[in-house]
Amino acid sequence: MKNNVHIVKFFRQRIPAFTCVPGCHDCCGPVLASTEEMARLPRKSAQEQDAALAALSCPHLGADGCQVYDERPLVCRLFGTTPRLACPNGKRPAAMIDPLIEERIYRYFTQTRHVLV
């Protein structure tokens, strides 16, 4: 697990950042995150999880946006940084994610246990 924590940190540092449209949460929804990433997030009750899933939302999405933004999972960080997960509002960083890093992240996704956020 410790090795996966370092891998997640490595990837997080290589996903470019950009400014979203204020108040937009179009990319927020049920996603899969590794158990390492989930361990960094506050636990939600089964009722909160079920309600978010029924609304096709994320249990960490609050009235003012993402409540775990600084610790959000890799897949959430990828939104808008790659044509595969384009921002519905056309926002993007000055330079998109390096395609080799993106491929490594997707490979990590296939090799790591993930759970529904």
Prediction pTM value: 0.90
Residue 37: partners with Cβ closer than 8 Å, 6 or more residues away:
8, 71, 73, 74
The tens digit of pLDDT for each residue in 70-103 reads 999 999 999 999 999 999 999 999 999 999 999 9
In this prediction, residues 11-19 reach a mean pLDDT of: 96
The confidence score (pLDDT) of residue 98 equals 98
The tens digit of pLDDT for each residue in 25-79 reads 988 999 999 988 999 999 999 999 999 999 999 999 998 899 999 999 999 999 9
Dist. CA 38–CA 115, nearest whole Å: 8
Does residue 17 register a pLDDT over 90? yes
